[in-house]
Structure 1
Amino acid sequence: MNAPTSKLPVVVIGAGPIGLAAAAHLAERGIAPLVLEAGASAGAAVREWSHVRLFSTWGEVTDPAAEKLLAPTGWARPDANAYPSGGDWVEQYLQPLADVLGERVRFGATVTGVSRAGRDRVVDADRQTQPFVVHFTAAGDREERVLARAVIDASGTWTTPSPAGGSGLPALGERAASDRITYRVPDLRDPAVRARYAGRRTAVIGSGASAFTALAYLADLAKSDDGAGTKGVWIVRRGISGSTFGGGEADQLPARGALGLAAKAAVEEGHADAVTGFRTEAIERDAEGRLVLVGEDGRHLDPVDEVIVLTGFRPDLSFLDELRLGLDERLQAPTELAPLIDPNQHSCGTVYPHGHRELSHPEQGVYLVGIKSYGRAPTFLAMTGYEQVRSVAAAIAGDLDSADQVELTLPETGVCGGAGLFDARDAAEVDGGGCCAPAPQLVQLGAPATAGAGVDQAPAGGCCGS
C-alpha cells in the first residue's frame, strides 16, 4: 500500500458491538478508525430490543481489546456469569466504549455508497492502489464523503428483516396488513404494546430464538391478570421433532436451552397452538378486519388479530454495489466462509474458527464482519464477531502471523441466535434439506398422543426430519 493511502483511516460502518470492537482493535494497533453510525447513539439496533435478555453471559459479550480501552476510565466489567438484557449491554458497555472512542465515532452518519476513488466497479486500471471513497449523509441530509485505506462493514442486518412469505418474498397482502404485523419481539412491559396483544389471538411465524421468546412472552401475558384470553398460534414451516426446541438442559449455554424449554411449555400448557408444515402465501382480512393466513397449499387458518414475523434477517448490500464482492449465491456470505456456516450443516457451536482470509473479497481491503458476514445464516454468536475483527485488524496492520492465528471455542448444541449479532433475537428460520415437507397440521403439545402429534415424533419421510 502506498504511503498516502496507509495514512488514511479505516472506516468502520456501524457502532454496534462488533463495529465498536473493530475500532478498539484498530486503535490498539495504532490505526485510526472512523466509525460511521446511522443511529443517534451507540448500539442503536440493540436499543430497539433492550427488553430482551441475552442467552450469553457478560463474559461472552465483551471484547478484550475494548475492555483494555475502557479500563483507564474506571470502567468495571459486570459479573461475567450474569446475563445482560439488550438495555444493559448498551448502557454498561457499548455506550461507554463509544464515549472512550470519542470523535472517532460519528453518529447520524448513514453510509449510502462505497467504491474505489475514481474507479467504478468495471475499471481495472490501478484499482488496488486507489483508496476507498465512502459516501454518507449527515445531519440535515448533508452529503459528505471520506477516503479510507480499508472498509469494515459491521452494519448488521437489523433493518432488513425477512418477510412472512414462504418463498422469501412478502406474502400477498403482507404490506397492506402492516398495521397488524410486527417483525420484532414485542416489549410487553410497555402498556400500549401490552394492550395490543392482551386478550387477542396472535400468530408467531418463525422457529428460532426470537420466536421462542415471543411465545414465552405471550404465555406470560396469558397467565397475568390483564391477559385473559391471550392466545398464540405458532406457525412453523417444518415439522416438530425432539430437536425443535434446542438443546434444553444439555445446552452448553443454559439460558439458551431454557428459552427453548419455555417455548415448549407455552405450547404444552395450551397458551399456544403449533401449526406445522405451513408456508404462508397470502395474508387476507376477514369481514371483521382480522387477518387470515393462507398457505401455499390453499389452506386458510383461523383468523388472528396480530402477526409477529420472526423469520430471520438478511444483509443490505445495496450501498456496496460498486465493490467487487465474492458472495455465496445462497447465503449471501463471503464465498470462503459460507461452507463453514451453512445452517444445513452447522449449529453455532460447530462453526469452524475463521478470520480475515475467509472474510476477504476480490476487492482487497473490504470486509463484511459480524452478523452481516453470515448473510442469511442464523448461526452467529457475538464472540465469533470479536474474533473476526481481531483477525481483520491484524491483517490490515500487516501482522499476518497474528491474523492467521484464529482460535475460538464455542458452546455447542441448541438453537443459535443473533442473526445476529445479538444472541437472543434474530435467529433465522432455515428450512432443512428442502426435499420435502410434512403435511400442514395443528399440533397441540401435551394433548393425548395421536399419530403425527407431539414433539418427540419426527415427520414422516426419511429426508424430512428437522
Structure 2
Amino acid sequence: MIGAGPFGLAAAAHLTSANIATRVFGEPMSFWRNNMPEGMKLRSPWVASHIAHPNEEHALDAYAAMRDFAPMEQMPINEFIRYGCWFQAQAVPDLDTRKVALVEPAQHGFRVRLDDGEIVQADRVVVAMGLARQDFRPAPFAGLPSDLVSHSSDHVSFNAYRGRRVAVIGRGQSACESAALLSEAGADVQLISRGPVLWLGSEQDDGSQRRDLAWRVRKLMMTRGAVGPFPLNWLAESPGLVRLLGDDMRDDFSARCLRAKASGWLRPRFGAVQINAGQTISGARTSGNRVTLDLVGGSATFDHVLLATGYKIDIARLGILAPALVQGVANSGGAPRLSYGMESSVPGLHFVGASSAHSFGPLMRFVWGAGYAARAVTRRVAANRAQPAALEPDHVEMFTRSPKTLTRT
C-alpha cells in the first residue's frame, strides 16, 4: 500500500481484517498536512467524513467523543488530520513511514524500492497517493517562476502574502476558500474566473439559515456523500454502476457532479475579495518581480498569482512507477482504466482514490468513497488467493518480520 491518507488507511484496514498480509508505506495524512492550507474546512458533511473500517470501528463519532466535541457541519482540516492520524494508530499501527521511490515489475509480482535503498517484494501493489503531483497548471503559466505563480496545493499558510496583491484563478471551492483565507491573512485579493461564482447551501457554518420547504426538499434528495445534484448524486453513490457507463458519458457525468461551485458559508467572508468574472487569460508574463495577466479588456499586474485550477490525473507524474509499468497500464489521458477490483491492466497493480475517479466516478475524490474502494480491492485480492500459490522465502520474510527489523536488500 503506497500512501496513508483516507483511501490507503481504509484499504489497509480492510485487507488486514481479511487476513491479507499488508504493508503500508508513507506518512499518515501527508497530502492533507503538507498541501492544504490551514483554516480550510471539509466540504463533505460529517456523516460522509468517516474513514471506512470493516467493522465500523474508529469512526469520526468515536474520535469526537474522545476529544469531547460535538459533530460539526464543516470540520476544520487540522482536526480531520488529527482524526486521520488517530485512525491510523488504531487501525494500521504497523505503518512504515518511509517513502516508496520506485515500483518495478518483477518475475513474481513487483519490486518496491524505498527511499533508503531497501528493496522489498510484493505480490500486489495498491497506489493510494491521492492528488499528490497531479496539480493542473494552465498553459499561459508554463515556465513562470514558482515565487510568482503557485498552485493552491503548494501552500499550508498564506501569511506571507500580507499586504500583497494576489490574483486567484478559478471559481470552485478551492479558489473561493483560498481567496477568503488570503484576504483574512491581509492580502489584497482578486478572484479571476471565466464564469460567475456559484454558491451552494446556507451562508452559516451550521446550516441554520434557509431551513424552508425548498431546503427540506433538497435535504431529502441528498445522499450521504452529497456528491452532485439530484438525481445524479444517487448514481454517484454506486461507483460500480458508474463504471458501466461509456467513457464520454462517464466523463460528462463526473463533470456535472463536480461543477465549479463553492459552499455558501464562504460568502460572508468575501467582503474584501474582488470578483472579476467573465474573463479569459490569454497570456501571463513576468514584469520585474511581479506578474502581468492579459485579460479581456486589458491587462492587470499582481505580486503573485495563485492557481486554484484543480487537478489532472496522470500516473506518469506520480514519479514512482517504472516506465515499463506506466506504459503497461491502459489509460485515458493519463488516468488508469480499472476493473472492478480497482485493478489496472497490469495484473496486481491497483489504484484507489482520485486516480480511480475516471473509472468509478466522482465519489472517488471524496473520503466517503474510500469504503467502496477498500471493499472492492479486498474482494479482488481475497478471490485471487482462493487457490494460493506458495510464497517464496523472500515473501515470507517480508510479511512476517517487523518493518523495523527487515533489512533485506
Report the TM range for the smaller structure's normalisation.
0.5 to 0.7
Instruction: Determine helix, strand or coil for the equivalent of 2:152.
Output: coil
Contact 2:329 2:344 in 1 (8 A): yes
2:278 paired residue number: 276
Instruction: Determine helix, strand or coil for the equivalent of 2:310.
Output: coil
Q: Distance in 2 between matches of 1:30 and 1:281?
A: 55
Alpha-carbon shift at residue 247 of structure 1 (Å): 5.7
Contact 2:180 2:273 in 1 (8 A): no
1:365-403 Cα offsets, whole Å, 9 max, x none, are 221111122369876211112211211111111189xxx
- The change in CA–CA distance for 1:373 and 1:303 in structure 2 (over 3 A counts) is same
Q: Is 1:291 the counterpart of 2:291 in the alignment?
A: yes
Letter aligned with residue 103 of structure 2: G
Q: Is 1:28 the counterpart of 2:17 in the alignment?
A: yes
1:409-459 Cα offsets, whole Å, 9 max, x none, are xxxxxxxxxxxxxxxxxxxxxxxxxxxxxxxxxxxxxxxxxxxxxxxxxxx
1:261 paired residue number: 264
Q: Distance in 1 between matches of 2:269 and 2:2?
A: 39
- The change in CA–CA distance for 1:398 and 1:66 in structure 2 (over 3 A counts) is closer
**TM-score normalised by length of structure 2:** 0.67
1:137 paired residue number: 115
Q: Distance in 2 between matches of 1:365 and 1:187?
A: 35
Q: Distance in 2 between matches of 1:254 and 1:145?
A: 42
Contact 2:101 2:114 in 1 (8 A): yes
1:56-100 Cα offsets, whole Å, 9 max, x none, are 2343122342665648xx965775555332221222233442454
Residues 48-67 of structure 1 aligned to structure 2 (within 5 Å): 48=34, 49=36, 50-65=38-53
1:47 paired residue number: 33
1:213 paired residue number: 177
Letter aligned with residue 195 of structure 2: G
Instruction: Determine helix, strand or coil for the equivalent of 1:303.
Output: strand
Q: Distance in 2 between matches of 1:154 and 1:63?
A: 14
1:389 paired residue number: 374
Q: Distance in 2 between matches of 1:55 and 1:304?
A: 29
Alpha-carbon shift at residue 29 of structure 1 (Å): 0.4
2:305 paired residue number: 307
Alpha-carbon shift at residue 263 of structure 1 (Å): 5.2
Letter aligned with residue 154 of structure 1: A
- The change in CA–CA distance for 1:205 and 1:280 in structure 2 (over 3 A counts) is farther
1:373 paired residue number: 356
Alpha-carbon shift at residue 187 of structure 1 (Å): 7.1
Letter aligned with residue 304 of structure 2: E
Instruction: Determine helix, strand or coil for the equivalent of 1:207.
Output: coil
Q: Distance in 2 between matches of 1:280 and 1:258?
A: 23
Q: Distance in 1 between matches of 2:22 and 2:11?
A: 8
Alpha-carbon shift at residue 276 of structure 1 (Å): 2.5
5+ residue gaps in structure 1? 1-11, 119-129, 222-226, 337-355, 401-466
Contact 2:46 2:71 in 1 (8 A): yes
Alpha-carbon shift at residue 259 of structure 1 (Å): 4.5
Give the alignment partner of residue 330 of structure 2, picking from 326, 333, 338: 326
- The change in CA–CA distance for 1:150 and 1:358 in structure 2 (over 3 A counts) is closer
Alpha-carbon shift at residue 357 of structure 1 (Å): 1.3
Q: Distance in 1 between matches of 2:375 and 2:285?
A: 45
Give the alignment partner of residue 75 of structure 2, picking from 78, 84, 100: 84
Q: Distance in 2 between matches of 1:114 and 1:315?
A: 20
Contact 1:334 1:358 in 2 (8 A): no
Alpha-carbon shift at residue 32 of structure 1 (Å): 1.1
Letter aligned with residue 292 of structure 1: T
1:340-366 Cα offsets, whole Å, 9 max, x none, are xxxxxxxxxxxxxxxx51733222222
Structure 1 runs (4+) deviating above 4 angstroms are: 66-71, 74-82, 185-188, 246-259, 262-267, 375-379
- The change in CA–CA distance for 1:258 and 1:135 in structure 2 (over 3 A counts) is closer
Matched pairs, number: 321
Q: Distance in 2 between matches of 1:151 and 1:364?
A: 10
Alpha-carbon shift at residue 293 of structure 1 (Å): 1.6
Letter aligned with residue 231 of structure 1: D
Contact 1:327 1:334 in 2 (8 A): yes
Q: Distance in 2 between matches of 1:258 and 1:293?
A: 24
Q: Distance in 2 between matches of 1:93 and 1:271?
A: 33
Which structure's residues are more often helix, by fraction?
2
Percent identity at matched positions?
23
Alpha-carbon shift at residue 314 of structure 1 (Å): 3.2
- The change in CA–CA distance for 1:23 and 1:55 in structure 2 (over 3 A counts) is same
1:110 paired residue number: 100
- The change in CA–CA distance for 1:148 and 1:160 in structure 2 (over 3 A counts) is same
Give the alignment partner of residue 245 of structure 1, picking from 188, 195, 199: 199
1:184 paired residue number: 152
Alpha-carbon shift at residue 16 of structure 1 (Å): 0.8
Instruction: Determine helix, strand or coil for the equivalent of 1:155.
Output: coil
- The change in CA–CA distance for 1:300 and 1:385 in structure 2 (over 3 A counts) is farther
Contact 1:59 1:81 in 2 (8 A): no
1:242-266 Cα offsets, whole Å, 9 max, x none, are xx33466767589999953355556
Q: Distance in 2 between matches of 1:386 and 1:19?
A: 10
- The change in CA–CA distance for 1:393 and 1:158 in structure 2 (over 3 A counts) is same
Q: Distance in 1 between matches of 2:382 and 2:92?
A: 19
**TM-score normalised by length of structure 1:** 0.60
Structure scoring higher RCO (CA < 8 A, sep ≥ 6) equals 2
Superposition RMSD on alpha carbons, in Å?
Answer: 3.6
Q: Distance in 1 between matches of 2:91 and 2:341?
A: 30
Q: Distance in 1 between matches of 2:368 and 2:268?
A: 29
1:442 paired residue number: none
Q: Distance in 2 between matches of 1:207 and 1:16?
A: 26
